[in-house]
Amino acid sequence: MTSVPVESVPFSDLLRQPAETAERLTRARAVRLRRRDAADLVLMSADRAEAEGEVVDLAARLLASLVRRDPDLVRDVLPTVLPWVRFLPLEDANTMADEFVTTAEAAAAIGNTAAVSQLLTEWRHTAEIHADPQLYHALTGQKLGDFAAVPRPDGR
């Protein structure tokens, strides 16, 4: 399956040539507007945004329904979709699967998938720690304790 590309243009193109920039949507899924000093923006037709939102909502509700029917399904399939899950201890992988399903369902209900993205980022970083024995030891090894109070900076 070939995906429709996302074109990338400087934000100034939208300001200088709005019609031409918007016309790019006829051949691209979306147009990424690159900005120098701020986060990039994405220009997409309202119809496409609504359609993609419906697909995300359906996928989240379908996934939640399948998990209620067979709770082990996501746990069994997740490593084939997100290979880094294999670095998580079994208990963490199970927790991640449960959190993923409940978060995806809740995110779809409010129409905002940012929480799902954040959850995946956090668990991916956890997997990276488990994959690197030195990093894992550095983060879980000797407890250093409390180093006492930190003095206030001068002048405050």
Residue by residue, pLDDT tens for the chain (156 residues) are: 446 678 899 999 999 999 999 888 888 889 999 999 899 999 999 999 899 888 888 888 888 788 778 878 888 888 999 999 999 999 999 999 989 888 988 888 887 889 999 999 999 999 999 999 999 988 888 776 777 888 888 865
Quote the pLDDT of residue 41. 92
- Is-contact 9 34, C-beta < 8 A? yes
Look at residue 1 in the predicted model and tell me its pLDDT.
42
Looking from the CA of 29 toward its CB, the CA atoms found within 13 Å total: 9
What global pTM score does this model have? 0.67
Question: What distance lies between CA 38 and its chain's CA centroid?
Answer: 20
Query: 111: closest CA among 48, 45, 55?
Result: 55
pLDDT at 95: 94
- pLDDT for residue 32: 93
